[in-house]
Structure 1
Amino acid sequence: MGTWDVGPFDNDSAADFGDTLDEAPADAREGIVRDALSRASDTKGYLDADVAEEAVAAAALVAAQCPGGEPADPHYGPHEPLPDLTALRPLAARALDRVLTEPSELPELWADSDGGPWEATIHQLRDTLARPLGDQSP
């Protein structure tokens, strides 16, 4: 697992996802984010870690545009502008829920170490996505 910390972009799959977004035409970026979220949320069987890591990164990009959302990682997240992704909030929430629901490889991998901080990051993203768009509280 090419992971170095608990943040949404702190792994190889998510960093590559950020690069993919930067290399894509501006009008294709929303579709790339939507596809990453859908791949995870639509998985019925075992959810592979790389698919889950991309979904977490995509959900973080959606959450970054919500009230109280944290900005995407300045080093490994995308650098090119993204369109308004707030319409993807329900899909992003479903993708995060699926990442945490068995059978899913990513929670299994984090269980081998202290996965509490990673899981807290996922729950924080989920809470941000659930916050009403007019709510400016942290």
Structure 2
Amino acid sequence: MEIIPLSGENQLAKNNFKKTKLFNIMGAWGHGYFEDDAALDFMQDIEDSENPKQLFSDAFEFAIDSDYLDSDDANSVIVASAYIDRQVNGTKFSSPEHDELLEVDTFPERNPDIDFSTLREKAVIALHKVLDESSELNELWAENEEDYPAWKQGIEQLIERLSA
């Protein structure tokens, strides 16, 4: 089981709080899978969804069919893929310093009847779209020469784990 830590200096900014049913974080920015406000919003959508598998499938299909993938939709792909990675590979995302990600880690146990493994292929294709030149999120990260390699490597590692 691999533990994926949040990035160092760019950890979740907890100074600005947003009260939601689940996540009390706002102002998130970093190269980790969940370090973006849009990613946190999608995590809340997952928790609120009656059919998370369909939500994931829709996010992947939208990305795959898009000529240009905006950053919010790209973040949805990343988050959905990370949830699948947790279920099929056992990848752990929370840590004592970041227990807000415990919701991701406990998602499979709270949803034992959902088999996300059938979405692995779609997730991989959609993640490749996130790294494509037609992805706004990729464009934005590419502008940051210092952090872009770490962000890209994280996505590539997720692709690798889901492709195994």
Q: TM-score range by the shorter chain?
A: 0.7 to 0.9
TM-score normalized by the length of structure 2: 0.70
Counterpart in 1 of 2:37? Answer: 12
Find out whether 1:98 has 2:120 as its counterpart. Answer: no
Where does residue 53 of structure 1 map in the other structure? 75
CA RMSD of aligned residues (A): 1.8
Deviations 1:40-89 (Å, cap 9, x if unpaired)? 1111x21111110111111111112223x523555255565342211100
Q: Distance in 2 between matches of 1:110 and 1:7?
A: 12
Of 53, 56, 70, the residue aligned with 2:91 is 70
2-side partners of 1:66 and 1:32: how far apart? 17
Q: Secondary structure at the match of 2:100?
A: coil
Tell me, yes or no, if the aligned pair for 1:66 and 1:128 is still in contact at 8 Å. Answer: no
Identical residues among aligned pairs (%)? 34
- Uncovered stretches (5+) of structure 2, i.e. residues with no partner: 1-26
1:125 aligns with 2:125: no
AA in 2 matched with 1:65: Q
Q: Deviations over 1:9-31 (max 9, x none)?
A: 11111111111111122xx1111
Q: What amino acid does structure 2 have at the position aligned with 1:33?
A: F
Q: Which has the larger radius of gyration?
A: 2
Q: Hey, what's the Cα distance between the residues in 2 that align with 1:57 and 1:84?
A: 17
Larger relative contact order (Cα-Cα within 8 Å, sequence gap ≥ 6): 1
Match of 1:115 in 2: 148
Uncovered stretches (5+) of structure 1, i.e. residues with no partner: 132-138
- When residues 20 and 72 of structure 1 are mapped into structure 2, their CA distance, relative to the original with a 3 A threshold, is farther
